[in-house]
Structure 1
Amino acid sequence: MNDRRSISPLQMRGLLHRQKNICPICGQVINLARGDKVHVDHVIPLALGGADTWDNMTATHDHCHVEVKTPLDRKDIARAKRLAKKMAEHAERMAAKGQPITEAKPRRKIASRALPGGRGDTLKKKLTGQTERRGP
């Protein structure tokens, strides 16, 4: 996991100034003079490849970060880990069979019958209610 940078009080004030003292989660004012506790949130979590840079950081109320954002991040991180594990297992199976690992082929469109009245139908219906043959 990436190392997190520590934020000084001056840097925190700069972060809050950039956001105009508004919590991006609840939309309420973050007031340090009132005693609001502040957490620094990574918009794209470090565990999902987010950078530890100012562009990826926001200041949030502590309760917004803990009760709203963190559970969502945990769900996304768990999903990414499951997917990575599944892909690694697939790669192992392919290697065991001696087959090269290739990118997925795009799925081809399934041929189906033309819908009645659709563009693929040989007849078309006019607004007046009359039907006529489509094409030449």
Structure 2
Amino acid sequence: MFKEFKAFISKGNVLDLAVGVIIGSAFTTIVKSFTSNLINPLIGIFMGQMNLSSIVFSVGSAHFRVGSFINDVINFLIVAFVVFLIVRTYNKVSKRDTTPKDTKTDILLGEIRDLLSEQKNNK
């Protein structure tokens, strides 16, 4: 069982996933800081309130933290946009590399095909 676990952990996909999770966690911290320290004050200038997370409305004893929700939506949109940019860039790069190149064999076979087609049409 230990050998199977070692083989599983040694696979590149597992290590890539672990690195992705760690970097994603660090990136989330940066995005939260960006939202709290830069975006919220900017929005606060227009709303007259510097801390969006303090926006709360109450109905009876229930408290709805609208400002915290707005912060989370902003964080999500920033992360989603960055992931979109990364995927779009990756797709553009990978399309360039996967374009098949015609080999000598492909060129010769194409010429033979054309000659046979030409002979068939001339008969």
- TM-score w.r.t. the length of structure 1 is 0.29
- TM-score w.r.t. the length of structure 2 is 0.32
Higher helix share: 2
Point out the structure with max Rg over C-alpha: 2
